[in-house]
Amino acid sequence: MNIRTFPKKLKIKLIIAIPSSILENCQDLRSKTEKIGIIARTCAIFKVEEIYIYPHYFKTKNSIRKNNLEFITTIFNYLECPPYLRKRKFPISPFLKFSGLLPPLKIAHHILKNKFENLESGETREGLVIESNDKFSKIDIGFNQKFYLDIPNLKIDRRITIFLKIQNSKMKISMIDPKNLKYYWGYKVYIKDLKHILDYFKDFCIIITSKYGKNIMKNKTKLINKILQVSKLLIVFGAPFEGLLPIFEKKKIKIQNNNFFNLNMIPHQGTETITTEEAIISSLSILNFLYWDSIQ
| 205/3 Cα distance (integer angstroms) | 36
Residues whose CB falls within 8 Å of the CB of residue 72, separated by 6 or more in sequence, listed in order:
20, 22, 23, 36, 53
Identify the residue with better confidence: 251 or 168.
Answer: 251
Residues whose CB falls within 8 Å of the CB of residue 117, separated by 6 or more in sequence, listed in order:
none
pLDDT at 148: 94
Is the predicted pLDDT of residue 60 greater than 60, yes or no?
no
| 210/208 Cα distance (integer angstroms) | 6
| 270/245 Cα distance (integer angstroms) | 21
Q: Where are the alpha helices (DSSP H) in the chain?
A: 29-45, 62-80, 86-89, 194-200, 220-227, 244-251, 276-294
Is the predicted pLDDT of residue 143 greater than 80, yes or no?
yes
The whole-number average pLDDT for the span 229-246 is 93
The whole-number average pLDDT for the span 100-123 is 85
The β-bridge partners of 236 are 17, 208
Please, which pLDDT band fits residue 75 given cuts at 50, 70 and 90? very high
The whole-number average pLDDT for the span 31-39 is 97
> Whole-model pTM?
0.94
**3-class SS string, 84-135:** HHHHHHCCCCHHHCCHHHCCCCCCCCCCCCCCHHHCCCCCEEEEEEEEECCC
Judged by DSSP in three states, 268 sits in coil
Per-chain mean pLDDT for the chain: 91
| 239/241 Cα distance (integer angstroms) | 6
The whole-number average pLDDT for the span 96-120 is 86
Judged by DSSP in three states, 235 sits in strand
The whole-number average pLDDT for the span 229-255 is 92
CB 23 within 8 A of CB 35: yes
Identify the residue with better confidence: 64 or 98.
Answer: 98
Q: What is the dihedral of CA 130, 132, 136, 141, to 10 degrees?
A: 10
pLDDT at 139: 96
Residue-range domains of the chain with CATH = 13-106+186-294 (3.40.1280.10), 116-178 (2.40.50.140)
